[in-house]
Structure formats: structure tokens, C-alpha cells
Amino acid sequence: MKTKEQILLETIENATLEEIIELSEELHPVDLLEALQDYEGNSKDLLDKFPDEYIAMVIDEAELDEKYEILSLFPQKQKQEIISEMSSDELADMLGTIDEESQRNLLDGMEEDYREEMEELLSYSPETAGGLMATEYIAVKESMSIDETLKFLRDISPNAETPYYIYVTDDHKVLKGIVPIRSILISEPKALVKDVMVQNVTTIPIDMDQEEVSNLFQKYGYMAMPVVDSDQILMGVITLDDIIEVMSDEHTEDLYRLAGLDEEEEVDGTILDSIKSRLPWLIVNLGTAMLASTVVRLFDDTIGKVVALAVFMPIVAGMGGNAGTQTLTLIVRGIALGEIDFENKKEILKKESLVGLIHGVILGLIVALIAGLWEQNLVFGFVIGAAMLLNMVIAALAGFFIPLLLKKLNIDPALASSVFVTTMTDVLGFSIFLGLATVLIRYLI
């Protein structure tokens, strides 16, 4: 039985020009991209059937490393036609990934105004609002009437990045407010834009980090937000679809870094790439494990006299590590989403400390009972129970303070926190457990 993609490919291969035009109006570019992955022939043969504006939409939807690969299939003159139809933010992203010579060739072929616009977009860091924004938006003057605004919209037939809002600016492009499309449609024709616009507009500074931009979208739930410079001049807009991609990338990056992986590593990547990504942090982990082993070595005599200590040591350290990771994950997420600030830090610390204490009491009692019965020694049960209690509290404190300290030092908490938290729970867990055992050794033998 043929797949949906195979049927689509056959339809395109056999379609007339009129059928292709009709298909391009109904077929989402993502569906064509998925079908092309299964195509055994030359992708250009199929893409050549579609108009340039549709090819531009396909490139817009393609993964970043695929955009220029698709564009490269076409001759230079057609490349220029295609990129003139692309979204400015997607084009800037693509230009930022190619070599300088190829970038220059594409820029030189653009009209002067568009080239200057692209060069300005390329000047912003790709991880800031300036690097995310698109310059296709609708702006009107506050002195215009609703009737004039509607005529303006009909005349320009806007191909804006966002159809959700119309932005209101003065003669110097300073943002004055926004007018939702709905307000334009229901207002009296003679009413002025300034009378129906919303003046209290949440804006995004052009140099704001993309993670903070993402937090703003999550906080307010807008479909699009304007980007302004320090003088409140409207520079562009960022839409929700861009932020969904940012959120996905940021969450993947945090997930990978918590595991000590490079976010660039791919599932189907090479063995060498995987080794380069993972080995450095495994070496760091080896160093911290050696530190924990050194602590254990200090108590050789104690372990030699009470061999059962070696059996229960991993329990104390392992439970502390797990508890620390739970707190750590919560705090790293809170930092990433902007949920932790100066005002609520103390409350969060109190909560996590209390959670660690309660966990420590419950788990300490359980393991104390099991260990005491195992060894037929209540003091042995007390030693491991007390060590468990103290290490669970330490784990909660480490999981709270370490990511906040790293953030203050401008080190990504997701990248380094887990190593330090695990080291602390291992080293202090072993120290407390074996230290208590050493002090009470005469009751354990």
C-alpha cells in the first residue's frame, strides 16, 4: 500500500501547470518537505514545477541546515527571486549559517534597501530579539481614520509576518500603540486610529535574550510582540511560531546539558561527534568520583572493622544524589522560565529545606530499621539513618544554591549544576556516614 508521501510525489510528477498552482494553494510546505525525504529522484525536478513564492515558503519551513541546501539547487537569478519572497527572519537565519562568499553573493544581488535591512538583521546575535524578529509588519499613523486604514490595507495587500495586530507609529517610527484587526473591523469608518488603539503596549528590547523573550510570550500569551530599540522605535515583530521553536531549542539544550551532552549532538551523528560531546564531562565526572573515593579511603580502618558499612554506603550517596537532582531540576527550570526572583527565593528555600528534612526523616527511619534488623545492631541503624537524614537536607540545599550561584557567575546552571550537586552529596554523604561510624565504632563491632 502506498504511503501518503508516495501518492503526493506521484501527483506532483504527473500534474499540469494549472494543477500545480492549485496544489500550491492547498499543500502545506511541511508536507512537501516530508515527501521530498522519500523521493529517490532529483528534488529540483519536483521543486521546479512550483512557483518561486511557494519554494520560498518551503525553505522557510525547512530545518536551518537544510535551507541553503534547497536554495543551492537553483541558478543564481532564480535564487534571488526566491529569497525576495522569503520571510526576513528566516532569510537572516539562513544567511547566518553559510560561508562568507555565498552570503556576499546573495546580498549583492538584493535591492539596496533590502540588502541594508538584511545586513542589519545579521548584525544582531541570533539568540537575541533582534536575531529572532521579522521586519514584515503593518504600521499606520495615529492620525489616520479607520476608513483610510482599510483603504491602506487593501492598497498594499500586506504580506506581513503577523496579521494579528496593526502597529501605530509616528513619523519617526516610534511605537505609539497597536490596533487589533477586530477593532478595525467594528469601528466607525470616520473614527481615528488614535481613538481605538491600545497605548499600553508590552514591547521587547532588541537586545533581550531569546530565553527572556520566550518567558514574556508565556507570561502574556500574545500571538506576536513588537521589538523596539532604546528610543522605542519599532524595529520588527516576533511571532509565537518563532518562540515555539526557541522554547523547543532551549528545553532540548537544558535537557542535554543536565546530562552532560552537547546540544549539537544528533541521534544519527558520527561516533567521533558523540565522543567529543560526551567525553569531556565524563572526565570531569571521573575526577569528582575520585574525590569521593579519596574520602572513603580516609576511613579504611573503619570499613575494615565493619564491612557492612561498604554495603550501605552507596544507599546514602545514591539517595542524596537523586534528591539533589530533583531539587536541581526544579530550580534550573525556574531560572529558565524566570519564576525565581529576589522576592520568592527565601520562600522557595524554606520549602525545599522542609521537603528535604521530611524526606530525610521518613527515608532515614526506613533505612535505619532495615539496617538495624540486618545487622542486629540499633547503633548501626542509627548511623545510617542519621546520615540519610543529613544528606537529604544537604541535597536539597545543594540543589537550591548551586544553580543560583552558577547563574550569578554567568555559568549555565543546566550545564554544570548536576556535577557539583552529585559531588557534594557523595562527598558529604560518605563523610557523614563513615564519620559517625568512626565516632561510634566501639558500638558497631
DSSP string, 68-114: HHHHTTS-HHHHHHHHTTS-HHHHHHHHTTS-HHHHHHHHHTS-HHH
Whether the per-residue pLDDT at 267 is higher than 70: the answer is no
Whether the per-residue pLDDT at 35 is higher than 70: the answer is yes
Buried b (16+ CB within 10 A) or exposed e, 361-393: eebbeebbeebbeebebeebbbbbbbbbbbbbb
Whether the per-residue pLDDT at 355 is higher than 90: the answer is yes
For residue 406, the model assigns a pLDDT of 87
- Contact partners, residue 386, CB within 8 Å, separation at least 6: 364, 368, 432, 436
Average pLDDT on 212-228 reads 88
Whether the per-residue pLDDT at 118 is higher than 80: the answer is yes
Whether the per-residue pLDDT at 108 is higher than 80: the answer is yes
Q: Point out the least confidently predicted range of 87-96, 196-205, 394-403, 410-419.
A: 410-419
Average pLDDT on 306-314 reads 87
Q: How confident is the model at residue 258 (pLDDT cuts 50, 70, 90)?
A: low
Average pLDDT on 104-123 reads 89
Q: What is the mean pLDDT of the chain?
A: 86
Domain chopping of the chain, boundaries: 4-132, 139-240, 271-444
For residue 255, the model assigns a pLDDT of 66
**C-beta contacts of 174-183 below 8 A and 24+ residues apart:** 174/231, 174/232, 174/233, 174/234, 175/201, 175/203, 175/226, 175/228, 175/232, 175/233, 175/234, 176/142, 177/142, 177/201, 178/226, 179/140, 179/149
Q: Which class in CATH covers the domain with range 271-444?
A: mainly alpha
φ, ψ of residue 261 to 5 degrees: the values are -110, 150
The model's pTM = 0.65
Whether the per-residue pLDDT at 246 is higher than 90: the answer is no
For residue 268, the model assigns a pLDDT of 60
Query: Do 4-132 and 139-240 come out as alike in CATH topology?
Result: no
Whether the per-residue pLDDT at 316 is higher than 70: the answer is yes
For residue 340, the model assigns a pLDDT of 83
Q: How confident is the model at residue 177 (pLDDT cuts 50, 70, 90)?
A: very high
Q: How confident is the model at residue 260 (pLDDT cuts 50, 70, 90)?
A: low
**CATH, domain range 4-132:** 1.25.60.10
Whether the per-residue pLDDT at 46 is higher than 90: the answer is no
Whether the per-residue pLDDT at 339 is higher than 60: the answer is yes
Give me 104's grid cell: 556576499
For residue 257, the model assigns a pLDDT of 64
Assign a CATH topology to domain 139-240: CBS-domain (3.10.580)
Output the CA torsion 115→119→121→123 (10° steps).
Answer: 180
Average pLDDT on 309-336 reads 87
Whether the per-residue pLDDT at 444 is higher than 90: the answer is no
Q: How confident is the model at residue 384 (pLDDT cuts 50, 70, 90)?
A: very high
Q: Give whichever of 79-83, 239-243, 285-289, 440-444 has the largest mean pLDDT.
A: 79-83
Whether the per-residue pLDDT at 416 is higher than 90: the answer is no
